[in-house]
Amino acid sequence: MNPKRFSASQIKFYLILVPLGIFMILPVVMVINKAFKPLGELFAFPPTIFVRDPTLKNFRDLFALSGTTGVPMTRYLYNSIMITIFTVIINLIITVSAAYAFSKKKFRLKGALFNINQMALMFVATAVSVPRYIVIQETGLMDTWLAHILPLIAMPVGLFLVKQFVDQIPDALVEAAIMDGAKDFRIIQKVIIPLTKPALATSVVLTFQAIWNATEASNNFITNDTMKTLAFYLGSLSTNNTVAAEGMASAAAVLLFLPNLIIFILMNTQVMNTMAHSGIK
Partner 1 sequence: MEAISTVTAGSKKKRKASVYRSGFRTFLLLFPYGLLFFTFIAIPIAVAIGLSFTSFDVINRPTFTGLTNYIVLVTQDEAFLKFVLPNTFKYALIVGPGGYVLSFLLAWMLAQIQKIPRTILSLAIYTPSMLGNVFIGVIWKSIFSGDQRGIFNHILIQLDIIDQPIQYLLSPDYLMNIMIFVSLWSSMGIGFLAMVSGILNINEELYEAAYVDGMKNRFQEIIYITIPSMKPQMLFGAVMSIVNAFNTGWIGVTLSGQNPTPGLAGQLITNHIDDYGFLRYEMGYAAAVSVALLLIVMIFSKIAHGLFGEKDEL
Question: At its nearest, how many Å lie between partner 1 and the CB of residue 256?
Answer: 5
Between 39 and 94, whose beta carbon lies closer to partner 1? 94
- Ranges within 56-75 binding partner 1 (CB under 8 A): none
Between 132 and 228, whose beta carbon lies closer to partner 1? 132
Between 85 and 128, whose beta carbon lies closer to partner 1? 128
* Residue 254: Cβ-neighbour burial (10 angstroms; 0-12, 13-18, 19+): buried
**30 Cβ contact list (under 8 Å, min separation 6):** 49
110-119 and 73-104 helices, crossing angle to 10°: 140
- 5-34 footprint of partner 1 as x/- string (CB under 8 A): xx---x--xx-xxx-xxx-xx-xx-xx--x
Question: At its nearest, how many Å lie between partner 1 and the CB of residue 70?
Answer: 22
Exactly one of 64, 106, 181, 242 binds partner 1 (CB under 8 A); that residue is 106
- Ranges within 197-256 binding partner 1 (CB under 8 A): 202, 205-206, 209, 212-213, 215, 219-220, 231, 234-235, 238-239, 241, 243, 246, 249-250, 252-254, 256
Decide: 209 and 201 in contact? Cβ < 8 Å: no
Neighbour tally for 214: CB within 10 Å: 21
Question: At its nearest, how many Å lie between partner 1 and the CB of residue 281?
Answer: 5
Decide: 254 and 58 in contact? Cβ < 8 Å: no
Decide: 219 and 236 in contact? Cβ < 8 Å: no
